[in-house]
Structure 1
């Protein structure tokens, strides 16, 4: 709950406008922690703004007809085969299965106890950035690193604690684009990523050092070498500020934007003292493909449910990531299986087959590990990677094929369905997800998949692009804003039937539909649906 109160960090123009209503909040937002956060914002905030402005300039060039490509000005970095990233710490060498999820206290415990090698705890796409979620997430991770985290579910009368061998904890801060409006610096919202990064490091580096561990992060949504360099400079500043060894901070970078796939070697080079791995953030990558090439009529993708990693442009992305990372001594992580267990045995059999097929493809491509979204799929994914790793912790010695992977292949669109049923399903998914997000939930099970912001973004981008280019659906209908509007509000009625009158009345589905219509039919494509949704989120806070 936002309050008018304002607490100021000593020696900095940092103002906390969110409530600090209890001792736990006050401990996380201590004067010392805020002083460090203020130093980071002062040092790096304006430069971050410049990087976001450069993203917009590049997008204007793509909208005008240019295509992403490998950089000519950094060719010397790619051609120099001698450099390697810093050696991978022992704790990060075996990551064959990772589980991801939000910062919710019970979910943190369940994920750490899931049997996965790593739990990537997400302040970004899997969490709605309410003030409570962001601060309580820090409390939860602090307690997890201390080994003291517990939770009592009063409804189920069940108590949750850590087991004896929890997963390795890695935190994912928000992307560069997301603000934290409940903390301002000189009157402006601070970068949410710096809040998440700074508070996590400040409250956990000592506890982790006592366990022989560094402070590990997943870095999302980078688009360029310069953005990677920004993060590396943040890491260096932090290590120097706390007088800890270089490399105390280790990062895994998600390659989940189309521009980034053309700069992977440059990003590894910029972060070579801190980076340990790259990851195929494939759902965001599909969204980024659409967003980056949205004005290109020859690059229109089909319905997202028909776009699998077996498509040539996505398989090439996977193979290039493995080849690039392994050549430089970094791990290459696979992508998310968003399936959740099905109660129906026949349906669960299909889910199992799809997960095995997906994970086997990743392992054959040389990935060192993979992601799942649900604890029940950890053992299944683990069994696949155990088979391919054959007793080794990773596949760093994997011999990648030597065939070239040109820009043309990475940019190649794929065929697939464009039908009414797919559009209607995408509408419902987006409405369900955005409505949950503005009410504080960032990770939502919908129709057998664990949806987060990335998959909702694909649904939204698909629809915007189809409307913008006036595509013809498989049944001959021209997809227009008017047709979309008709289906949108029809599907709102479908949702009302699915959830029931009580849940519908208590929810915020109508304003979600109005926002979704506006976003999907606007002349200008909103870079991220979370940004225009933020005003609704604040209303729910």
Structure 2
């Protein structure tokens, strides 16, 4: 650690107790103010030293974050006015230069054949760490509802897991414990996913040098607390501070993360290049800048991931007002084999392997049902087909959302890999994807059905209700739904209404009919007295039926209800 940082942290550590309210800093420095209630052991995460680190991150990078979010607004305006995304002419020299490579896999990330994703509550964490997967994506983003308790207690989960003290006892008395030490061959390598740049943490406020107060960045809070408390321990255990980076829309956002990594490593005295990041390519804008994103993060980059569900949502959101050409059909018909999705994944694999980066496949939403063998058989068949396609296409790993799916996914990758741990030697020189192929939405056809409308309303309302209760990953109709899949459902409805879509059965999709479907769905909801369905219906109307389209359903719902 550098001398200035060490002395400042030492000053704060001496005789300072954490309380709700302002954390004392030297008068020439900014402040962090914790406004959320402090539950048991929160002071182990929200230490004065850790908060000082958060203040340093915000002081250096919050302004750039705001500028980049403003640039996103202009990108959306351009798309609405008919300007399609494109490969950037000003960065052609990066794409044309064949000499550069990314850092690649760090210790513990050399075999990523099957990664399990899930939220960071204690029970799910124990199950993930005992699952037999190669990697656990510890998700503070789309699979986690960002309640204050989930944010801090998720950090406690990771803190305890890395120190060999993670356990959970259910209300029924069942005990859950991690079976093997972290860092050993029996547990997955942990890769943590912080919230995206668009989200804030309203329970922590940052005061800049001019005294202006603002909600903290959810990204910086999640990254900063995890990195500060655990980076050195992760290194000592034979891995490192590894991250999945969500929702990026381009190279400048990747550059910001790289700057954060450089500063954070210097601040804690960790060698540069220790951090490894895997970037989710889950926006149409990022799809046109894959190589540039790798280039900006090359000192810290391990690979890219095909974030398929958010990618579909991004396409609907970006082109929602561009007419019939960009209208997508029922969600069930948007498979990974339709032309524009096929172009996206083939470009991702080819780009990654050209630069020495791992290409990680997406998550199949199917989940088994241990009480229904027929549903389980169907889920396993769907997952096997999905993972067989990914392995055959050259992916180096894939995601599952349930431990029971790991053997099926692993078998498909083992069949292709043999004794290898990756497929980086498959350079895919046969792939030449054009902008027209990435934007080939019309070829899929915009066939909307009444069943598709009902499904989208039902899924969106039920997921939002779960999210409002603090559960961010929900099994609905034998599929694992998270914020991304709910976003597809509500954004499709908005697009269909505003494009005056007509179903295959001949019914116009207008606001009045969607409202009547909503009433039908509401009448059949399982009310308990402790549910949040009334709030969920209100949120649904705001994000699916209002004239203005909210960029993310979670922003307004978080501000009002969490």
- The two structures have a TM-score, normalised by structure 1, of 0.96
Q: How does 1:451-462 map to 2 (within 5 A)?
A: 451-462=481-492
The match for 1:441 among 471, 484, 489 is 471
| Unmatched segments (≥5 aa) in structure 1 | none
Q: Which residue of 2 aligns with 1:506?
A: 530
Q: Which residue of 1 aligns with 2:543?
A: 519
The match for 1:478 among 499, 508, 522 is 508
Tell me if 1:324 matches 2:345. Answer: no
Q: Which residue of 2 aligns with 1:221?
A: 247
1:522, distance to aligned residue in structure 2 (A): 1.9
Q: Which residue of 2 aligns with 1:310?
A: 337
Q: Which residue of 2 aligns with 1:537?
A: 561
2:518 aligns to what SS in structure 1? helix
Q: Distance in 2 between matches of 1:158 and 1:21?
A: 22
Q: Distance in 1 between matches of 2:542 and 2:151?
A: 28
Q: Which residue of 2 aligns with 1:136?
A: 153
Kept after mapping to 1: 8 A contact 2:265/2:271: yes
Tell me if 1:172 matches 2:193. Answer: yes
Tell me if 1:418 matches 2:441. Answer: no
Q: How does 1:95-110 map to 2 (within 5 A)?
A: 95-110=112-127
1:399, distance to aligned residue in structure 2 (A): 3.7
Q: Distance in 2 between matches of 1:31 and 1:196?
A: 16
Q: Distance in 2 between matches of 1:318 and 1:159?
A: 37
1:528, distance to aligned residue in structure 2 (A): 0.3
Tell me if 1:7 matches 2:7. Answer: no
1:489, distance to aligned residue in structure 2 (A): 1.2
2:360 aligns to what SS in structure 1? strand
Tell me if 1:53 matches 2:64. Answer: no
Kept after mapping to 2: 8 A contact 1:279/1:333: yes
Kept after mapping to 1: 8 A contact 2:282/2:314: yes
Post-superposition CA distance 1:243-262 (Å, at most 9, x none): 11111111000000110000
RMSD, matched Cα: 1.3
Q: How does 1:25-174 map to 2 (within 5 A)?
A: 25-164=42-181, 165-174=186-195
Q: Distance in 2 between matches of 1:46 and 1:265?
A: 26
Kept after mapping to 2: 8 A contact 1:127/1:442: yes
Q: Distance in 2 between matches of 1:197 and 1:510?
A: 34
Q: Distance in 1 between matches of 2:107 and 2:237?
A: 13
Kept after mapping to 1: 8 A contact 2:346/2:431: no
Q: Distance in 1 between matches of 2:337 and 2:487?
A: 21
Q: Distance in 2 between matches of 1:155 and 1:294?
A: 47
1:55, distance to aligned residue in structure 2 (A): 0.3
Q: Distance in 1 between matches of 2:124 and 2:24?
A: 32
Post-superposition CA distance 1:146-188 (Å, at most 9, x none): 2221112231433423335111111000000000000001221
Post-superposition CA distance 1:416-473 (Å, at most 9, x none): 6411111111111101110111111101110001110000000011000001111111
2:303 aligns to what SS in structure 1? strand
Kept after mapping to 1: 8 A contact 2:104/2:301: no
Tell me if 1:370 matches 2:412. Answer: no
The match for 1:18 among 36, 44, 49 is 36
Q: Distance in 2 between matches of 1:246 and 1:258?
A: 31
Q: Distance in 1 between matches of 2:380 and 2:356?
A: 32
Q: Distance in 2 between matches of 1:303 and 1:313?
A: 16
Q: Which runs of 4+ in 1 moved over 6 A?
A: none
Q: Distance in 2 between matches of 1:46 and 1:159?
A: 43
2:35 aligns to what SS in structure 1? strand
| Unmatched segments (≥5 aa) in structure 2 | 1-18, 208-212
Aligned residues: 528
Tell me if 1:232 matches 2:247. Answer: no
Post-superposition CA distance 1:372-402 (Å, at most 9, x none): 0000001110000000111100000114152
Q: Distance in 2 between matches of 1:272 and 1:161?
A: 34
Kept after mapping to 2: 8 A contact 1:151/1:161: no
1:527 aligns to what SS in structure 2? coil
Q: Distance in 2 between matches of 1:375 and 1:353?
A: 15
Kept after mapping to 2: 8 A contact 1:214/1:248: yes
Kept after mapping to 1: 8 A contact 2:543/2:549: yes
- The two structures have a TM-score, normalised by structure 2, of 0.92
Select between 89-98 and 42-51 the one with higher mean Cα deviation. Answer: 89-98
Select between 329-338 and 149-158 the one with higher mean Cα deviation. Answer: 149-158
Q: Which residue of 2 aligns with 1:205?
A: 231
Post-superposition CA distance 1:22-50 (Å, at most 9, x none): 3x201100000000110000100011000
1:346, distance to aligned residue in structure 2 (A): 2.4
Kept after mapping to 2: 8 A contact 1:9/1:38: no
Post-superposition CA distance 1:170-213 (Å, at most 9, x none): 10000000000000012210100000000001110121121122
Q: Distance in 1 between matches of 2:239 and 2:532?
A: 43
Kept after mapping to 2: 8 A contact 1:306/1:416: no
Q: Distance in 1 between matches of 2:384 and 2:312?
A: 21
Kept after mapping to 2: 8 A contact 1:444/1:451: yes
1:145, distance to aligned residue in structure 2 (A): 1.3
1:482, distance to aligned residue in structure 2 (A): 0.8
2:108 aligns to what SS in structure 1? helix
Q: How does 1:332-351 map to 2 (within 5 A)?
A: 332-342=359-369, 343-351=371-379
Q: Distance in 1 between matches of 2:201 and 2:38?
A: 15
